[in-house]
Homo-oligomer: A and B are copies of this chain.
Amino acid sequence: MPTLQEAMAHVGRDVDRVLETVLLPGTGPEGRLADAMRYATLGGGKRLRPFLVAASADLFDVPTEQSRRIGAAVELVHSYSLVHDDLPCMDDDDLRRGRPTVHRQFDEATAVLAGDALLTLAFDLLAAPATSPSADVRVELMRALSHAAGAHGMVGGQAIDLAAEATPLDLDGITRLQALKTGALIGFCCEAGAIAGHAERERRHALKAYAHDLGLAFQIADDLLDLEGTVEETGKAVRKDDAAGKATFVRIMGVDKARQQAAFLAAQAKDHLQVFGARADLLRDLAEFAINRRS
How far does the alpha carbon of A30 sit from the alpha carbon of B34 in the complex, in Å?
A: 32
Interface size class of A (residues with CB under 8 A): 35 or more
CB contact under 8 A between A90 and B109, given known A30-B151, A124-B143, A159-B30: yes
Q: In whole angstroms, what is the CA distance A120 to B158 when docked?
A: 14
Report the bound CA distance from A90 to B164 in whole Å.
27
A143: which of B87, B128, B145 is its contact (CB, 8 Å)? B128
Instruction: Return A294 CB to nearest CB of chain B, in Å.
Output: 31
Q: Which residue of B lies closest to A116 (CB)?
A: B155
Q: A33-B159, A139-B139, A156-B33 are in contact. Are A89 and B109 (CB under 8 A)?
A: yes
Please report A residues at the B interface, Cβ cutoff 8 Å.
Answer: 28-30, 32-34, 37, 80, 84, 87, 89-90, 107-110, 112-113, 115-117, 119-121, 123-124, 127-128, 135-136, 138-140, 142-143, 145-147, 149-151, 155-160, 162-164, 167, 169, 173, 177, 180
- Interface pairs (10), CB distance under 8 Å: A29-B169, A30-B157, A30-B159, A30-B163, A33-B159, A113-B162, A116-B116, A120-B151, A124-B143, A135-B138
